Amino acid sequence: MPPAALTTWQCPSCHGVYSDPQGNGQRYYHICPPLSRIELLALSPGELIALYTAHAIPPTVPDALERLAGVGIARVNHRDENIDPAYRGETLAPGQRPDETAVPRIAWGEGRTSR
């Protein structure tokens, strides 16, 4: 089987670049990385203090920013392309008829081989 054509995408939230499907034909599920140290620095002082407080990091310690970056603060409009783990396939509403095409009746083989 020839390798699948690579389609490259750029995430509008984090601007990361990735290929889906991969060269071997398998799907790739992008997830945005947390805010980097640089992105945290770009927040307003109030937002930054709130994050320090929420994660119990004293803002005065020398590596406070690195610690906060290590916690993994999700960015606004964070994207996670993974399938919802709660997905359980088709669920019929009461009274809804199932898709009959998904349940084919068997096509019996020609010729009966013995009796």
Partner 1 sequence: MDPTSPYVWPGPAVVGFPRIEAHWSPGPWLFTAEDNLQLDSVCSQSGVTVTVNGVVLSADFQLLPFSWTHSPNSNRTVATTRVSLGTGWLQHARILVTGGAAKQGECFVALRVCRGTTSNAIILGTIAAGYITTVTDLYTPGGTILTALDGAGTVRSITGTTPAAGVDILETVPTNARWEVLAFTAQLTTSAAVANRVVGLTIDDGTNIYFRDSPAFTQTASLIDIYSWAEAQSKMAAPGSSFVLGNLPGGNRLLAAHRIRTSTIALAAADQWTAPQYLVREWLENN
Query: Which chain residues interact with partner 1 by CB under 8 A?
Result: 1, 4, 11, 14-19, 21-34, 36-39, 63, 66, 69-70, 72, 80, 82-85, 87-92, 98, 102-109, 112-115
CB of 18 to partner 1, least distance (A): 4
Residue type, 71: V
CB of 102 to partner 1, least distance (A): 7
- If the CB atoms of residues 30 and 52 are measured against partner 1, the closer one turns out to be 30
Q: What distance lies between CA 25 and its chain's CA centroid? A: 18
- If the CB atoms of residues 22 and 51 are measured against partner 1, the closer one turns out to be 22
CB of 45 to partner 1, least distance (A): 19
Instruction: Count CA within 13 A, CB hemisphere, residue 1.
Output: 7
Rounded to a whole number, what is the distance in angstroms from the first to the last CA of the chain?
43
- If the CB atoms of residues 44 and 82 are measured against partner 1, the closer one turns out to be 82
Separation between Cα atoms, residue 26 and residue 22, nearest integer Å: 5
Q: Is 75 exposed, middle or buried (0-12, 13-18, 19+ CB in 10 A)?
A: middle
CB of 31 to partner 1, least distance (A): 5
